[in-house]
Amino acid sequence: MNYWLGVFFFVVGVLISVMIHEWGHFAMARRFGCKVTEFFVGFGPKLWSVQRGETEYGVKAIPAGGYVKIIGMTDLEPVEPGDESRAFYGKPGWQRAIVLSAGSFMHMVIGFVLLMAVFMLVGVQQDPIAARVGSLSPCVQVSLSDTCTSSSALSPSRVAGLQPSDQIVAVDGAAVTTWTELTDKIHASAGKPMVFTVQRDGKTISTTVTPYAATRPDPTDAKKTVTVGAIGIGPQEVLVRVGPIAAAGKSLVGIRDTITGSVAALATLPQKVGQLVHVMFSNEPRDPNGLVGVVGAARISGDIAADNSSFASRLGVLLFLLAGFNIFVGLFNMLPLLPLDGGHVAVLAYERMRAWWAHRRGEPEPARPDMNKLMPIAYVVFILFVGLTVLLVAADVIKPVQL
């Protein structure tokens, strides 16, 4: 799996997620008798469409989302004579709430299914214990962003003749039994020759390895870097799969943790936007835990696909990334802000609360909220979203996140 295949995987995954999101709205609207006239993926000029019954299905040129057209979404939309009973605004409040929330719910379902697939079919990487070599970097990578070319210097592990599945049992005559012990010794020995005692195919051999000085993220502060010794090896992977019941439990925990992290991130959104603007005009690196747009997520997918780890491990991480994306989008879409689905749910909740209060007081049901008065709010939110999207795209292209 190469870089562009990873990018393709993420882009296609996002487009399929958008289709499933819109299908959620579509299926519930049809279930409650609403008239749905269009189901499109993308925006802008129409590329292809087909009429099936009363609904036109198709694809448009700009793959930046999708939409389902349900007649009578608001009082502002004209409804053809004879279709009044099928207008969205004429349906009971609980049915409208389900239709509006169905898209976000489908994102949660997608996230759950993807996590189940990882836990049951791919397996989850366990922390390495034994000091056993799993992967070898082909070249010296002073920074993780360095790419190997035909003129790149061979990594110390390649020069020393290390091979996958080698068990390193001692360094400079001192026994090592865990991967952590081995990496601690390597990190502390930049530029210093080290004698590895290796067990390979039942034989014990010795080889000399000289770590080079590498720049890596500081494990205590993602915004900083540290200089450590490196030789270009990775641990042998241990992927553990579980049964459906355990996978379902782990998936629910994963959704809970992702939602918790997403809520915390949304709470600090203004601060993170300010940090991103600062980074764009400084020499500071991007915060790996900061804001990342769709372009950045696609680039990260490419980096994951191009990694030296096993196919199963890379596939698992890509599925995790796509699951996290869906869960975040499902949560974000339910924020009580127009024009998001959550904004429409909030307006509906306000409408039904007013109707309930009027009913209790024996008064006639009040008119629905005037959407003309709410549209300026929707426009402001939309402009802010567009501005944030442009900022994220610029940052992801000019100063991408380095894993």
Average pLDDT over residues 362-389: 89
pTM of the entire structure? 0.80
Which residues are designated catalytic?
A: 22
First-residue to last-residue Cα distance in the chain = 18
Residue 403 confidence class, pLDDT cut points 50, 70, 90: low
- pLDDT for 127 equals 64
- pLDDT for 222 equals 66
pLDDT digits (tens, 9 = 90+) for 278-306: 888 887 777 777 788 888 899 989 888 88
CA 280 from centre of chain: 22
- Given a cut of 90, whether residue 188 has pLDDT beyond it is yes
Q: What backbone torsions phi and psi does residue 381 show, to the nearest 5 degrees? A: -60, -40
Q: Are 215 and 233 in contact (CB under 8 A)?
A: no
Q: How far, in Å, CA of 143 to CA of 211, rounded?
A: 14
The b/e string for 152-161 (b: 16+ C-beta within 10 A; e otherwise) is: eeebbbbbbe
Q: Are 268 and 151 in contact (CB under 8 A)?
A: no
- pLDDT for 71 equals 94
Tell me the sheet residues that pair with 197: 170, 206
Please report, rounded to a whole number, the percentage of residues in the chain having pLDDT higher than 90.
Answer: 56
pLDDT digits (tens, 9 = 90+) for 191-228: 999 999 999 999 999 999 999 998 888 777 767 889 99
Residue at token pair 């680039």: 299
User: What is the SS3 assignment for the chain?
Assistant: CCHHHHHHHHHHHHHHHHHHHHHHHHHHHHHCCCCEEEEEEEEEEEEEEEEECCEEEEEEEEEEEEEEEECCCCCCCCCCCCCHHHCHHHCCHHHHHHHHHHHHHHHHHHHHHHHHHHHHHHCEECCCCCCEEEEECCECCCCCCCCCCCCCCECHHHHCCCCCCCEEEEECCEECCCHHHHHHHHHCCCCCCEEEEEEECCEEEEEEECCEEEEEEECCEEEEEEEEEECCEEECCCEECCCHHHHHHHHHHHHHHHHHHHHHHHHCHHHHHHHHHHHHCCCCCCCCCCCCCHHHHHHHHHHHHCCCCCHHHHHHHHHHHHHHHHHHHHHHCCCCCCCCHHHHHHHHHHHHHHHHHHHHCCCCCCCCCCHHHHHHHHHHHHHHHHHHHHHHHHHHHHCCCCC
User: Which two structure tokens, joined as six digits, stand for 177?
Assistant: 């039994």
Residue at token pair 């993926």: 41
Q: Mean pLDDT in the chain?
A: 90
How many residues make up the chain in this entry? 403
How many other C-beta atoms lie within 10 A of the C-beta of residue 331? 20
- Given a cut of 90, whether residue 176 has pLDDT beyond it is yes
User: Which two structure tokens, joined as six digits, stand for 6?
Assistant: 């990873």
- pLDDT for 2 equals 83
Residue 128 confidence class, pLDDT cut points 50, 70, 90: low
Query: Nearest Cα to 228, choosing from 144, 130, 162?
Result: 144
Q: Are 96 and 348 in contact (CB under 8 A)?
A: yes
Residue 52 confidence class, pLDDT cut points 50, 70, 90: very high
- pLDDT for 77 equals 81
pLDDT digits (tens, 9 = 90+) for 244-262: 999 999 999 999 999 999 9
Average pLDDT over residues 14-42: 94
pLDDT digits (tens, 9 = 90+) for 58-71: 999 888 788 899 99
Domains of the chain plus CATH, in order, are 1-35+71-122+243-403 (no CATH), 133-237 (2.30.42.10)
- Given a cut of 80, whether residue 314 has pLDDT beyond it is yes
